[in-house]
Structure 1
Amino acid sequence: MSEGASVRAFGAASITGARIVIVVPALGAGGTEHVVSLIANHWARAGHRVTLITLEAPGVRPYYDLDPDIAIVQLGVPPRRSSKLRSGLLVLRRLQRLRKAIRRSEPDLVLSFLTRMNVLTLLAAIGLTVPVVVSERNNPALQPFGPLWKWLQSLLYPRAFGLVTMTKGALDHFPANVRRRGWVIANAVDLPVGWQKKRGNNILAAVGRLTHQKGFDLLLEAFSRVSKTYPEWKLVIWGEGDERRKLEALRDTLGLRGRVEMPGVTPHPGLWIETADVFVLSSRYEGWGIVLLEAMAAGLPVVSFECEWGPGAMIRNSSDGILVPQGDVEALAKALAEVLGDRSLRERLAMSAEVSARRYSPERILSEWDALAFCALNRATATRLQDA
């Protein structure tokens, strides 16, 4: 059977009613959570029994819409600041509850997202015959982790059935014994249903958690250098996070209080695309940068740091977007000035961006997840037959 035929068979009836568990820390707003919702909905609608396990407190509502047939198990042990001793006890409690939840679900396949969750899932699955696929959603070389988590990652990842990254660069970070069972699957772009263009108010938009990684401090510095030249434009940074007060203080220090808004998370997923006129990604590093792709798909001109990894795969510089050297505030300011000051350039970039983003349609990307699941489920079936 060809790979394409295998994919179609999985989506249809070759492996029906598979029990699939997806493990993720939370189901809030974010690129990983968006991907999880797409995959879970897709497999549930294909007739598979999908269970989502999170660390959240019971009753927390998912940010993204989920198929009503998807079971959600909330373990009630969310991340929290605490002493090293208490943190260690909390990790043990998560591990115990996660193992119990996985065993109760009797899965044919377990899929886990994000490094710490991947490590816990692989630990929880020790002694079980179920295949576990782990997915890295950030830059594995640059995201901050303590030495214990890094050691556990190196010890446990070779035990996984497979590893999914979003770029080849991220996959190449891992040793050969892990890369041999690696898949590179980009993020799909999935714009909100029924969104409307409400543009024309000269809004430069940025989106992401208010963290050091997202580089909004660099963006504020760059915008301050062009704000007087383009007084009709304002910057809107959508998102929430630990660095809000620090960023607000920097905004005020730069004299941008009336020119920069930070309204928090959009009430509905992706609605920031309605009012944006230009999009900018200022991240220090990324696993992919889904908001950049969403902006392109919505027909927005985009400017981005060429951070590792993601933007360089999506953008052809000066064709469907503008890439500037990573962390170069002066180059970012220059690129913003170029785009904000040239309507015809904005229109050309926007048109090309929308066409380029079609490479990442949900149908195409989800078929790659189907192929991975088909492979894992077939292997699990063969193992059970051998043991019988």
Structure 2
Amino acid sequence: MNDCSASCRRAPHIAFFSGDITRSGGTERVATWLAGALAEAFDASRSSQGVRGAARTRISIVSLFEERAAPAFPIDARIRRFTLYPAVSHGIWRYFATVRRLVTLVRQQHIDVLIDIDGILDMYALPVKRLAGVQVISWEHFNCLTNPGVPYRKLTRRWAARRADAIVTLTGTDRALYERRFTPRCPVAAIANPMPVVTPTPVYDDSSRLILSAGRLTRQKGFDLLVDVAARVLPKHSDWRWVILGEGEERALLERRIADADLDGRLILAGRTDDMDGWMRRAALFVLTSRYEGLPMVLLEAKAYRVPIVAFDCPTGPSDIVADNVNGRLIAGLSVPAMADAMEPLTDDDALRRRFSQHAQDGAERFDESMILTQWMSLLHDVAAYGDKEREG
């Protein structure tokens, strides 16, 4: 008979903590990918050990609520989903109730590790660490210089630096900023988001006259600046059109700006799409006008599809993905005139776009899925080992 001390010990339960996992953002996309990749990796490891009755590592997703009936991105069937509230629920006045609900769920489901897929969720998870003994990994998807939408985000970052078991940033630049600004007591790991694997292999069409942008229609994404760039570029190139994919609270504002710039029918707000693959394969250029980012998934997608990129060199992310004048252009200072000037030769010269496309995947190995999964597995192993020492001590 196999030794039960090895085979029957309860395996850890790892839960991803989300505001709403059914959303269609880059954060939700990479979280669902990582959850599924971990479920597959842990099951493969368990099978390879061949120990009958070996405990299975559980992977779950916990959301504050789920607004949509189905998630925007597929979730592995092995992954259970939980919600703290049965319907959409906002408001800081629910803070203590939310902490209580999370404590109850952690205890009932024997959750060992909470991965907060947005650092603002540390405000709920860190009290639960103290109350229920769960370990907390704070996963930063912006950068530590920005506090989008929530002014007390900077307070949760300081709290995480003192109390979290690990912090994950998307770039080495942001890791250095964290270490310099907050002097964390826990490890800070820089783990990039993965570049998607595209099949069949994309073939760049240098005859295309489509400029593509995508993202939530919010101030962060800078689509108001994009309209100003388009007003300089499109009137000179009657055969080009520019499509923005996505929805958000700034749609009405952007519609007015597009009309005022006399760009109706040339600069198109196409809304959400289930065919990003088709759009990327038709694109001649991908343009990002964000005021700030973490590591933008849309640029990794464009890179995977071999589409030349023009992007503001905002903090942080674009410079990790784009090599200026090699596979795209990086524009300093959120300068509308500079971006328009950089796009001129690209719209005029098919050969230049083709050359950029041929170098689009330079440096892509940094974003390899298997390497990123290995980094996460190593981090989880280190966090679990640290938790075992704490419990033994």
**Alignment TM-score, normalising by the size of structure 1:** 0.88
Q: Could you say which residue in structure 1 is the equivalent of 2:46?
A: none
Q: State whether structure 2 residue 34 is matched by structure 1 residue 25.
A: no
- Correspondence 1:163 to 2:172: no
Q: Secondary structure at the match of 1:245?
A: helix
RCO (CA 8 Å, sep 6+): is it higher in 1 or 2?
1
Confirm or deny that 1:289 pairs with 2:306.
no
Name the CA shift for 1:147/1:211 in 2 (closer, same or farther; >3 Å).
Answer: closer
1:28-177 superposed matches below 5 A: 28-46=23-41, 47=43, 48-57=57-66, 60-76=69-85, 87-144=91-148, 146-174=150-178, 175-177=181-183
- Please tell me whether the aligned partners of residues 191 and 298 of structure 1 are also in contact (alpha carbons under 8 angstroms): no
Q: Equivalent residue of 2:142, what SS?
A: coil
Instruction: Tell me the number of residue pairs that the alignment of Structure 1 and Structure 2 aligns.
Output: 368
1:185 aligns with 191
Superposed CA offset, 1:32-80 (max 9, x none) = 1111011100111122310100122376311111110100112237766
| Kept in 2: contact 1:240–1:264 (CA 8 A) | yes
SS of the residue aligned with 1:255? coil
C-alpha separation in 2, matches of 1:123 and 1:357: 39
Distance, in Å, in 1 between the alignment partners of 2:283 and 2:195 is 17
Q: Which runs of 5+ in 2 are unaligned?
A: 1-6, 44-56
- Deviation, 1:210, is 0.4
Q: Structure 1: where are the runs of 5+ without partners?
A: 1-12, 82-86
1:223/1:307 CA distance change after superposition, 3 Å:
same
Shift in Å, 1:129: 2.5
Aligned to 2:231: 224
Identify if the C-alpha distance between structure 1 residues 155 and 299 changes in structure 2 by more than 3 Å, giving closer, same or farther: closer
Q: Is the 8 A contact 1:195 1:274 kept in 2?
A: no
Deviations 1:265-320 (A, max 9, x none): 21256553132221011101111111112101111111111000011111111012
Structure 1 counterpart of 2:35, one-letter code: A
| Offset of residue 177 of structure 1 | 3.2
Question: Take 1:72 and 1:219, find their aligned partners in 2: how far apart are those partners?
Answer: 38
> Normalising by the residue count of structure 2, what TM-score does the alignment of the two structures yield?
0.86
1:155 Cα deviation from its structure 2 partner: 3.1
Q: Distance in 2 between matches of 1:198 and 1:344?
A: 12
CA RMSD of aligned residues (A): 2.4
SS of alignment partner, residue 183 of structure 2: helix
Distance 2:204 2:352 in 1: 20
Query: What percentage of residue pairs aligned between the two structures are identical?
Result: 28
- Kept in 1, the 8 Å contact 2:230–2:267? The answer is no
Q: Is the 8 A contact 2:14 2:113 kept in 1?
A: yes
Indicate if the aligned counterparts of 1:112 and 1:134 stay in contact, CA closer than 8 A.
yes
- In structure 2, C-alpha distance between the alignment counterparts of 1:282 and 1:329, rounded to whole Å: 9
